[in-house]
Structure 1
Amino acid sequence: MNIIEACDHPELFEPWFRGGKRDSFGAWFAFLAALFGLPMTDEQLELYQKHTGRQERPTEANNEAWLIIGRRGGKSFTAALVAVFLGCFYDYSRYLAPGERGTIMVIAADKKQARVIIRYVKAMLNGIAMLKDMVARETADGFDLDNNVTIEVGTASFRSSRGYTYVAVLADEIAFWRSEDSANPDFEILDAIRPGMATIPNAMLLCMSSPYARKGALWDAFRRFYGKDGTPLVWKATTREMNPSITQSVIDRALERDHASASAEYMAEFRSDIEAFVTREAVEACVSPGVIERPYVSSNRYRAFVDPSGGSNDSMTLAIGHSEGERVVLDCMRERKPPFSPEAVVAEFVDTLRLYRVSEVEGDRYAGEWPREQFRKKGINYRLCEKPRSDLYRDLLPMLNSKTADLLDSDRLVNQIVGLERRVSRGGKESIDHAPGGHDDLANAVAGVLNASVKPRNVVISEPDRI
């Protein structure tokens, strides 16, 4: 029995397509026929050609597919359907050693998002009598089936993705994966996954997302494979093309509010108003390998910049640096992740400032009065930065490209700088900020101190302050 036949079977998945839902699922059936190499009707072939840019009928199943589909298009339900079908109807036993389990992993930005798919999986496994008998154990994160297959959720981490034998991996909203450990988590996680699929000849990788910027694994797959036979399948479609039940008025209003964002969210168009801020190569060229902190030198005049935080969501960061001729040098960084006591972190940062004979710190004006008051209590003047965050990053860019910035060896710092994005608003104004779900607390402090450390021309720098 193939997956489309299973969707028509009244004792299997057919209840999910009653009441006219099957007609609205037409484009998805065309995709499933393409994914599993099944015969197509002429109408399905036309849909296949429209959404893949290919002409020839698919003749065999695809081990790798990429879905570029607008929000609310039905990706999560289809992913669950594929997961349950593969887990219950495929026999992987001949590829598994005694005691080894094959895993169907649903990976999302976090487990909360991945559980959207798992809830669909649970409804199918518990709601279909002949499949319910296959469930040997149910946990908070998934299901162990009696055929040595496990369906479970995982988070977007290249470390936690290792060590499994994968029979299938479903990568949900891959364009929005973020990690403090990497500027390119999607590529690194896929690299960590693929060896776990190597011993299963028919293992399937299904990556799906609404699009975002023209970067990352989703964009790379679209650029390399779309419209090309003999490559991983790439299927691109708008929300309503895959789910006609979404009313056009909802999409029209979203387009009126923010055309660029809604074009990506609902029309499945990669955003042209967002681009990478700087290349990894440019940033790494400014790093002093193996140098994680520089000691105080009495002949240097040090400056400091702090990015405050209330202690609940964002990190609080401090950066100290100095100038040497045309070069700006980063000497010290501190970061405290939440939760923390802001007063305790201020006291800790002040101790570090005193080591470098710094009596004044510059900082973000959006934190309100409390950081100024706390630093003032400790004898440190807190001066508001005149430049907004975007301007600090914009002025940092020539320092990076010219290699006049000398950075400490910190993967976290490099990843945050590389993860910055340029955005152009509807009015044409450009801004630079972290990607959705990302962080730039450390990058902001470093950009601030390097900006402050640039020597104005024809200005004499006085002797270091003494504390």
Structure 2
Amino acid sequence: MGDDRLALFKQLAGDREPPGERVRELYVIAGRRSAKTQNAAAIAVYLATVGAALEGLTDKLAVGERGTVVLFATDRTQAKIMLGFIAGMIDASPVLSAMVEKRGAEEIHLNNRVSIEVTTSNYRAVRGRAILACIFDELCFLRSESTDAADVEIVRAARPGLATTGGLLIGISSPWAKRGVMYEQYKRHYGQDSDVLVVKGATTQFNPTLDPRVIEEALAEDPEAAKTEWLGEWRDGISSYVDRNVVEGCTRDFPLIVPHQPGHTYTAFVDPSGGSSNPNADEFTLAIGYRDKDNTVVVCGVWARRGSPDETIEAFSKILHDYNVRTVRSDRYAGRFPADSFARHGITLQFTDKNRSQLYIDALPLLFTGRIELPPDPVLANQLCGLERRTGRTGDVIDHPAGAHDDRANAALGLAAHAMAHKAMPKVAVRFCF
């Protein structure tokens, strides 16, 4: 590197010396619009076509074995964009395009026994395979319905496979909360001379073509958010809503659904959605439960569906009738449509006066004191554990992280908050006179 590039490297790498040989892991913390996805795609193309062979990685493949360069995207839309970049780079070169043996919906197979595969948050994608490189786009924002720590699980699954081939792990992301793989690697290796390289910088340092006025306006509007979005700084004031051990302590072993039982007064809460059938879309959710004599809220079940809202409301109305519930509550986010549709099935939808953050805050004491019984629903548990508490100008905001969902959590805790809001029936002594 020349003097200018060396100075920039030290500025981005915390003043450490450039590594003398290829590092084992690389983490790039950059502001938005830093061309992160394009660079991830370019690295994958280089490694799959030339780099893996130059590094001797393909020499470690067994006879008949195919090596894979795996890229992880935050969702299917991002994966499709990334695969488009990869295909475009390969097709633009007559030499590289001649290497293509087969194309699939998620992968490209090359004639050098290397494949490029783009997937979402699935730790199984790296198990039991010869992995030459793992590249994570927006590592801080990887989410999964099966775990509240997708980044940790996937990186943990990737490292043994990479150790076998000597492959490279690369994480590229805008920063977010001070937790997860990216932040832990930043704390341990930023500015340190080791075989893990961490670089961090503002958007303009990675993409000097961006108009600086965009960043100036963002800083003037919301300095705290803009520092994370554009300056590559970790976000302060973000904490977890509740720990997993608390959620697990409130979760019954079975059954998933507690059927209607005479003698209980049931409460219901819905979180409507727009009706998309896309697996990454929000779910339309319903929670039903009651408050027992010990002032514990029993969440009998959480039902979730995607697709036609009318069909969902018809199905949910039957469930509500089974529990003798004629009034269901919801926040005002969905507007009038679900109220009108529920009314056609004899169900009254009442909007709450509180938003979801306020409902979450009201339900928090129930979780901490164990006065809520949750169904053994792993998606619900992961949504609860994934909720973030952020300090804002107008108070605390509790919401799901970017790219994640909280539909089941909203229904369950909305139900709990309203079940506890009802006054308990007073005990009345009755004397019969004959």
- TM-score of the aligned structures, taking structure 1 as reference length: 0.82
In the TM superposition, residue 363 of structure 1 has moved relative to its aligned partner by 2.1
Paired position in structure 2 for 1:399: 366
Counterparts of 1:210-359 in structure 2 under 5 Å? 210-230=174-194, 232-312=196-276, 313-324=281-292, 325-337=294-306, 339-340=307-308, 342-359=309-326
The secondary structure found in structure 2 opposite 1:346 is helix
CA distance in 2, matches of 1:377, 1:116: 42
Maintained 8 Å contact 2:31/2:202: yes
Q: 1:166 to 1:258 in 2, by over 3 A?
A: same
Alignment: residue pair count: 419
Q: Contact 1:111/1:153 (CA < 8 Å) preserved in 2?
A: no
Structure 1 counterpart SS, 2:72: strand
How do 1:451-466 residues align onto structure 2 when only pairs under 5 Å count?
A: 451-454=417-420, 459-460=425-426
> What is the aligned counterpart of 1:51 among 1, 12, 36?
12
Give 5+ residue unaligned stretches, structure 2: 429-434
Q: 2:385 aligns to what?
A: 418
Task: Name the stretch that deviates more: 75-84 or 276-285.
Answer: 75-84
**Cα distance change of structure 1 residues 99 and 320 upon mapping to structure 2, 3 Å threshold:** same
Q: Provide the C-alpha distance between the structure 1 equivalents of 2:163 and 2:221, rounded to a whole number of angstroms.
A: 46
Q: Deviations along 1:274-316, whole A, 9 cap, x unmatched?
A: 3322222221111112331223222322211122234235322
Paired residues for 1:183-222 under 5 Å: 183-201=148-166, 203-222=167-186
Paired letter, 1:226: Y
**Higher mean displacement: 185-194 or 63-72:** 185-194
2:113 counterpart residue number? 148
Contact 1:323 1:455 survives alignment (8 Å):
no
> SS at the partner of 2:123?
coil
| Displacement after TM superposition at 1:369 (Å) | 3.0
Distance 1:367 1:222 in 2: 40
Please tell me the residue identity of whatever aligns with 1:332. G
Letter in 2 for 1:185: A
Please state how far the C-alpha of 1:62 moved relative to its aligned partner: 0.7
| Contact 1:107–1:172, Cα closer than 8 Å, also in 2 | yes
The yes-or-no answer on 1:439 pairing with 2:405 is yes
Provide closer, same or farther for how the CA distance between residues 455 and 145 of structure 1 changes in structure 2, counting only shifts above 3 A.
closer
Q: Are the aligned partners of 1:308 and 1:364 in contact in 2 as well (CA < 8 Å)?
A: no
- Quickly say closer, same or farther: Cα 1:71–1:375, change in 2 above 3 A: closer
Residues 194 and 383 of structure 1: is their aligned pair in 2 closer, same or farther, counting only changes over 3 Å? Answer: same
Give the CA deviation at 1:111: 4.1
Q: Distance in 1 between matches of 2:332 and 2:58?
A: 61
Paired position in structure 2 for 1:360? 327
Q: Take 2:43 and 2:316, find their aligned partners in 1: how far apart are those partners?
A: 52
Shift of 1:119: 4.2
| Amino acid in structure 1 at the alignment position of 2:178 | R
Name the SS of the counterpart of 1:436 in structure 2.
coil
| 1:177 paired to 2:142 | yes
Deviates more, 1:118-127 or 1:214-223: 118-127
Q: Is the 8 A contact 1:260 1:273 kept in 2?
A: no
Tell me the CA shift for residue 388 of structure 1: 1.6
How many Å apart are 1:118 and its aligned residue?
A: 3.9
CA distance in 1, matches of 2:250, 2:398: 20
Cα 1:237–1:319 change in 2 (3 A) is same
Change (3 A) 1:456 1:334: closer
Name the counterpart of 1:76: 37
CA distance in 2 between partners of 1:115 and 1:393 (Å): 35
3-state SS of 1:53 partner:
coil
Instruction: Quote the Cα distance in structure 2 between the aligned partners of 1:440 and 1:117.
Output: 26
Aligned residue in 1 for 2:431: none
Per-residue CA deviation, residues 154-195 of structure 1 (Å, 9 max, x unaligned), is 222223444432101111111122222221111122223233
Summarize the alignment of residues 12-91 of structure 1 with structure 2, pairs less than 5 Å apart. Answer: 40-89=1-50, 90-91=52-53
- Specify the SS of the correspondent of 1:125: helix
Pair 1:461–1:361, CA change in 2 (3 A): farther
Name the Cα RMSD after superposition. Answer: 2.5
Please give the alpha-carbon distance, in whole angstroms, between the structure 1 residues aligned to 2:44 and 2:333.
46
Q: CA deviation at 1:242?
A: 1.9
Shift of 1:44: 4.1
Aligned-partner residue type, residue 152 of structure 1: E
- Whether contact under 8 Å (2:329, 2:350) holds in the other structure is yes
Quote the Cα distance in structure 1 between the aligned partners of 2:304 and 2:427: 29
